[in-house]
Amino acid sequence: MGTTVLLGPQRFMTTAGSTLRALEVEGPVATITAGWEEREDEDAELDAVLDGRSRNLRLHHRMFDVLEKDPAFAAAALAFRDRHDELLGFYRLRLQGAMEGVYSVQRRTSVHGTGEAALADAVEAVRHLDGWYSGHLKDLYRAFDEQAPLEQSEVLGWHRGELAAMLGECAALVVTGGHVGTLLRTLRMFALPVPDTLPVIAWSAGAMALTTRVVLFHDFGPHGWHEAEVYDRGLGRVPGVIALPHARRRLRLDDRARSAVLARRFAEHRLLLLDDGTSAVFDGEPVRPGEAAAPGPLPHGVRVLTANGTVQEVGAA
């Protein structure tokens, strides 16, 4: 796989332009702003950051064009949305109770050493619940693919052909933030044929979408905190990683006990903290069709959440 750069949020510290220039690529830059939803075309500032080279793929606009012109695909997409919403509802209900059990066990004093085993089992129950949700979501995707195969939609095929031609003329791809659900929906709908050699720069929701598993989290939400939850599978361009954008603003990183639980839930992944100024460059080998990419080494200097709940800088002494 070609170079992939995951950046910290771009609202207060813009680094996308300098990152693009450091890649030393010439030519147009394809952009995906579908996560901005109805503001997808408000990309003048982004174009300026990219030195006037951007070519917006307009995936959000194209999605609605497909849904309007292909009733069969639209019906299948609506059914998937409703089933996914119901699955999420049950998962969140069960998750709340399971996490309350974890924290109750964690807070209780253990005189005879039983506490660690009890905590490990409680965390494993949450991991099982995460797996239950992921498995049922996989079944929903399978049913959707059987009900509405991408290759059977003429309008979708037309858009995919145009997108492939546009990508073929571009020297890099940039994926911005916004609503991660909308972004993933459009990326999957059009199954973009991103060449292995094409550099990709992404941040916030875009960074989350390129990793293995998309986890939603917010310890300081406007309507109160909620537990981290598995939302969807990512595209896997950066395997073995869960991206956590705005980590300092959204996670109680000073609460080691809570952070340790988060790390233990996703022990098979590296929890990458993407704060302002972060730049994580991944250079992977191309993956053969049908094969899963193996996790590569983390870039020097990035910050990750460790199993004991502390933040560690990769490569630091």
CB atoms within 10 A of CB 311: 17
Q: Give, rounded to a whole angstrom, the gap between the first and last alpha carbons of the chain.
A: 30
Helix, strand, coil shares, percent, the chain, to 5: 45, 20, 35
Q: 218 CB contacts (<8 Å, ≥6 apart)? A: 225, 226, 250
Mean pLDDT score of the chain, rounded to an integer?
92
pLDDT score at 317 = 56
Residue 288's pLDDT is what? 45
- Residue stretches of the chain with pLDDT short of 50: 286-291
Q: What pLDDT is stored for residue 26 in this prediction? A: 94
Q: How far apart are CA 47 and CA 36, in angstroms?
A: 15
Residue 226: predicted pLDDT? 80
Asked whether the beta carbons of 205 and 177 are under 8 A apart, the reply is yes
Q: Which whole-number Å values give the CA distances from 125 to 122, 131, 180, 253, in the listed order?
A: 5, 10, 27, 23
Q: Which residues contact 216 (CB under 8 A, 6 or more apart)?
A: 180, 228, 229, 231
Beta-carbon-side half-sphere exposure of residue 259 (alpha carbons within 13 Å): 22
pLDDT, residue 192, reads: 87
Q: Which residues of 251-287 are buried (b: 16+ CB within 10 A; e: fewer)?
A: bebeeeebbbbbbbbbeebbbbbbbbebbbbbebeee
- pTM flag (> 0.85): yes
**What would be the CATH architecture of the domain defined by 3-70+153-313?**
3-Layer(aba) Sandwich (3.40)
For 184, other C-beta atoms within 10 Å of its C-beta total 21
* DSSP state at residue 151: G
Chain segment 219-246, per-residue pLDDT in tens: 876 666 788 999 999 999 999 999 999 9
Q: Tell me, what's the pLDDT at 286?
A: 46
In DSSP notation, 278-300 reads -EEEEE-PPPPTTPPPPP-PPPT
| Element at 140 (helix H, strand E) | helix 115-147
Q: What pairs with residue 270 in β-bridges?
A: 241
pLDDT, position 222: 64
Q: CA-to-CA distance for 213 and 10, rounded, in angstroms?
A: 22
